[in-house]
């Protein structure tokens, strides 16, 4: 049913429909509205699960790990400093192959302390073994939770996932969102059926340590599952499209890319602004399009390569910075790798850090820069502060 709702509340509603048995989270801006709403649902009996009020993000994900290993579907949400604090557990959850879903309300990393949006937080954990989805709007954020659980829990995948949506920009704004019914989600997402769990009737040891004789193969297996996840995501997204009419069968999504000379690549809410800018540039006769990356891990290199076939240059809009790398942004590195053999130039343009607004004119500017072959750089800098 279509309703006007805050992004965080739409996500909370999606989580409720997934029937998690254990929710464990620690409050941090701008994730709080999600977990507050989930706590209300538990208090009112609308969500039949345990809500653990932990003392830290580190314990939030640790308790999720224990609950998942014991056989429950679990959920958590965090951002930025909280995600960094749980980073050790993030790697551990993936290594132990627990299909935990965690919403990341993307926020900048300190210092300096900053509560506003960019995507540095989730991207710094790109190698942790978690799938990473990025939502453009509240509807996509909502729907990606259903898809994430479905893919994560498949026995040939068993990988956790971040569902990332931009803090404040999506988490605290109101949009019309079509929320499925419980019956619809029950028909799409079956009950959690763990491959193995902590159980006195069938005792096993979880989280043993691996010597050099074994460790590398366990890492190989995680990567192999991540590779398999590409197909599983396409299938789960396709099934979702059949049932709900919103198509997530691709890991990327093109917008007016046909015959484009310049492609802008981006993730998250800024894609909405980019679409408006593309429309205006197209109206002015410029051949520009957008490639939205919905799934960053696994990275859909083949789809990116296919989507960018024929473009002359690529401007990657980065809400992160790869400090110390020749390529300024983490997304650009992946895109450049994907199109490497074509020789198409790919540039990282970094902006929107710590909540700095990204305007249509910024997008037009970086499009122009890409055409001119301008090297990787920041955009939207306040030059007067950089004497």
Q: Does 41 bind other proteins (CB under 8 A)?
A: no
Q: Which residues, listed in sequence order, are joined to residue 78 by a DSSP beta bridge? A: 104
Nearer to other proteins, 66 or 380 (CB): 66
**Beta strands, E only, 270-339:** 288-293, 295-297, 313-318
Q: Which uninterrupted H or E stretch holds 163?
A: strand 161-166
Among positions 128-187, residues that touch other proteins (CB under 8 A) are 158
Q: Does 324 bind other proteins (CB under 8 A)?
A: no
Stretch that binds other proteins, among 11-19, 138-146, 199-207, 318-326 (CB under 8 A): 199-207
Q: Does 218 bind other proteins (CB under 8 A)?
A: yes
Helix (H, G, I), strand (E, B) or coil at 120: helix
Nearer to other proteins, 94 or 358 (CB): 94
Nearer to other proteins, 53 or 187 (CB): 53
Nearer to other proteins, 222 or 301 (CB): 222
Residue 252 near residue 307 (C-beta atoms within 8 A)? yes
Residue 240 near residue 248 (C-beta atoms within 8 A)? yes
d(CA 53, CA 33): 15
Among positions 275-314, residues that touch other proteins (CB under 8 A) are none
Report the candidate in 73, 89, 84 with the shortest Cα–Cα distance to residue 106.
84
DSSP letter assigned to residue 174: E
Q: Does 205 bind other proteins (CB under 8 A)?
A: yes
- Sequence-separated (6 or more) residues with CB below 8 Å from residue 64: 22, 24, 74, 75, 76, 93, 98, 100, 102
- Sequence-separated (6 or more) residues with CB below 8 Å from residue 303: 250, 251, 252
Nearer to other proteins, 44 or 55 (CB): 55
From the CA atom positions of the chain, what is the Rg in Å? 21
Nearer to other proteins, 10 or 15 (CB): 15
DSSP letter assigned to residue 180: P
Residue 91 burial class via C-beta count within 10 angstroms: exposed 0-12, middle 13-18, buried 19 and up? middle
d(CA 387, CA 376): 20
Residues near other proteins (CB under 8 A), total:
50
Among 8, 62, 262, 269, binds other proteins (CB under 8 A): 62
- For residues 332 to 361, the per-residue mask of contacts with other proteins, x marking binding by CB under 8 A and - elsewhere, is ------------------------------
Nearer to other proteins, 205 or 372 (CB): 205
How far CA 248 is from CA of 25, 97, 121, 243, in Å, comes to 28, 24, 24, 12
Q: Does 372 bind other proteins (CB under 8 A)?
A: no
Nearest distance, CB of residue 342 and other proteins, angstroms:
38
Q: Does 56 bind other proteins (CB under 8 A)?
A: yes
Among positions 9-28, residues that touch other proteins (CB under 8 A) are 21-22, 24
Q: Does 211 bind other proteins (CB under 8 A)?
A: yes
Among 58, 124, 244, 378, binds other proteins (CB under 8 A): 58
Q: Does 39 bind other proteins (CB under 8 A)?
A: no
Residue 108 near residue 145 (C-beta atoms within 8 A)? no
Among 36, 50, 280, 368, binds other proteins (CB under 8 A): 50
Among 36, 40, 42, 92, binds other proteins (CB under 8 A): 92
Q: Does 52 bind other proteins (CB under 8 A)?
A: yes
Contact residues for other proteins, defined by CB under 8 A: 21-22, 24, 49-50, 52-56, 58-59, 62-72, 74, 88-89, 92, 95-98, 158, 195-196, 198-200, 203-211, 214, 217-218, 221
């Amino acid at each position: 049913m279509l309703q006007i709702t805050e992004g965080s509340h739409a996500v909370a509603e999606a989580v409720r429909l997934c029937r998690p048995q254990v929710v464990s989270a620690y409050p941090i801006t701008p994730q709080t509205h999600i977990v507050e709403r989930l706590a209300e649902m538990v208090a009112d009996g609308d969500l039949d699960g345990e809500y653990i009020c932990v003392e830290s993000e580190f314990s939030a994900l640790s308790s999720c790990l224990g609950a998942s290993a014991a056989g429950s579907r679990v959920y958590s949400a965090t951002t930025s400093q909280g995600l960094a604090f749980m980073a050790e557990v993030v790697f551990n959850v993936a290594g132990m192959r627990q299909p935990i879903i965690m919403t990341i309300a993307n926020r900048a990393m300190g210092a300096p302390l900053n509560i506003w949006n960019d995507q540095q937080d989730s991207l710094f954990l790109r190698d942790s073994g978690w799938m990473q989805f990025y939502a453009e709007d509240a509807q996509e954020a909502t729907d990606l939770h259903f898809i994430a659980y479905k893919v994560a829990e498949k026995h040939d995948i068993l990988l956790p996932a971040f569902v990332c949506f931009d803090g404040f920009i999506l988490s605290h704004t109101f949009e019309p969102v079509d929320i499925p019914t419980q019956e619809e989600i029950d028909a799409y997402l079956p009950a959690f059926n763990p491959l193995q769990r902590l159980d006195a009737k069938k005792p096993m040891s979880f989280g043993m340590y691996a010597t050099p004789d074994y460790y590398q193969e366990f890492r190989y297996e995680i990567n192999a599952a991540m590779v398999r996840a590409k197909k599983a995501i396409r299938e789960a997204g396709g099934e979702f499209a059949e049932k709900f009419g919103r198509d997530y069968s691709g890991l990327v999504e093109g917008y007016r890319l046909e015959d484009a000379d310049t492609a802008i690549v981006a993730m998250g809410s800024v894609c909405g602004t980019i679409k408006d800018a593309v429309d205006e540039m197209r109206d002015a006769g410029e051949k520009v399009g957008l490639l939205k990356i919905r799934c960053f891990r696994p990275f859909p290199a083949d789809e990116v390569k296919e989507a960018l076939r024929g473009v002359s240059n690529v401007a990657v809009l980065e809400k992160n910075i790869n400090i110390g790398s020749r390529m300024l942004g983490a997304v650009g590195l992946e895109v450049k790798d994907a199109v490497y053999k074509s020789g198409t130039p790919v540039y990282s343009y970094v902006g929107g850090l710590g909540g700095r607004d990204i305007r249509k004119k910024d997008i037009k500017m970086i499009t122009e820069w890409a055409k001119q072959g301008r090297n990787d750089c920041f955009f939207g800098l306040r030059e007067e502060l950089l004497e």
